[in-house]
Amino acid sequence: MDDAALHSSVIGDSGATVVFLHGLFGQGKNFTQIAKALVPDFRSLLVDLPDHGRSPWTERFGYEQYADAVADLLGSGVARGGPVHVVGHSMGGKVAMLLALRHPELVDRLVVADISPAASDGSDEFEHLLGSLAQLDLSSLETRGEADAQLAEPIASATVRGFLLQNLRRASDGFHWQANLDLLRRDLADIGDWPAVDSSFDHPVLWVAGERSHYVRDEHDETMRRLFPQTRLVTIKGAGHWVHSEQPEAFASALKVFLAG
């Protein structure tokens, strides 16, 4: 990866620091609503992970590489004075777990949102979504609305299209993907996987599941509690995989209670 630091932004100016790590094809700003809900009790750092948002691109996806990049950002910044809270969703949840396991001195309390330390079986869905984006002829686009219209058939949900199209950026020479679409699509199997880990993290962990999601299952419980012995599982009613955007008030409330200790 490029030596440039990961891009991040801050919301709030008081309280303990909470670091947010987004999921596949997301950006740190996806947690803006949640971060604002934590003010004034917490200050939030919204991070763009490698190959996403305004952060540098890599040549190959790797959870260890992503976690270490976040560790470099925190160790030279908000965690210089001590550990911080970390919240990660989906792919970002796996990065957050690995960050805590590889760099426990940087993490106080950990929140893992709708993902497990196991191979995920949602790759078909994301292959369809990213494949649909790859089919867009960016050179012929004149407006973002045209892109949305072309995606309406393969991606019926306007909400999902809007989430994906936040990565479409216009420059002087036309539209481009801000996220590293080609790499993320190529390495989708690695993104869905989970690396072998033999360490554990003994600080409190909140494991958040969406009631209508399939990413947190009973068979994942043993591995989760072996790696994170102080795990507490909470299920958000009425939520699918994107728990923080589908049920923001319930998600923010769970965070406040847990992070306040």
For residue 247, name the pLDDT band (cuts at 50, 70, 90).
Answer: very high
How far is 218 from 207, CA to CA, in rounded Å? 13
Does residue 128 sit within a domain? no
**Domain with 22 in it:** 8-120+193-259
pLDDT (mean) for 126-132 = 92
How far is 251 from 73, CA to CA, in rounded Å? 26
Shared domain for 51 and 180, answered yes or no, is no
Check residues 171 and 41 and name the one with the higher pLDDT: 41
Does residue 88 sit within a domain? yes
Going by their DSSP bridges, the two strands 42-47 and 231-236 should be labelled as unpaired
pLDDT of residue 9: 97
H-run or E-run covering 221: helix 221-227
Shared domain for 181 and 88, answered yes or no, is no
CATH no. for residue 249?
3.40.50.1820
Does residue 115 sit within a domain? yes
For residue 2, name the pLDDT band (cuts at 50, 70, 90).
Answer: very low
pLDDT of residue 261: 85
pLDDT (mean) for 189-217 = 95
Shared domain for 30 and 114, answered yes or no, is yes
Check residues 29 and 159 and name the one with the higher pLDDT: 29
Residue at which a domain ends, from 186, 206, 221: 186
Residues serving a catalytic function are 90, 182, 241
Instruction: Say how many domains are in the chain.
Output: 2
Does residue 1 sit within a domain? no
For residue 144, name the pLDDT band (cuts at 50, 70, 90).
Answer: very high
Per-residue b/e over 191-230, b at no fewer than 16 CB within 10 Å? bbebeebeeebeebbbbbbbeebebbeeebeeebeebbee
Shared domain for 115 and 220, answered yes or no, is yes
Shared domain for 55 and 92, answered yes or no, is yes
Dihedral (C-alpha) 171, 175, 177, 181: value to the nearest 10 degrees? -140
pLDDT (mean) for 59-76 = 97
Shared domain for 110 and 218, answered yes or no, is yes
Model pTM?
A: 0.95
Does residue 126 sit within a domain? no
Does residue 127 sit within a domain? no
Given a cut of 80, whether residue 1 has pLDDT beyond it is: no
**What is the percent of the chain with per-residue pLDDT over 90, rounded to a whole number?**
92
pLDDT of residue 55: 98
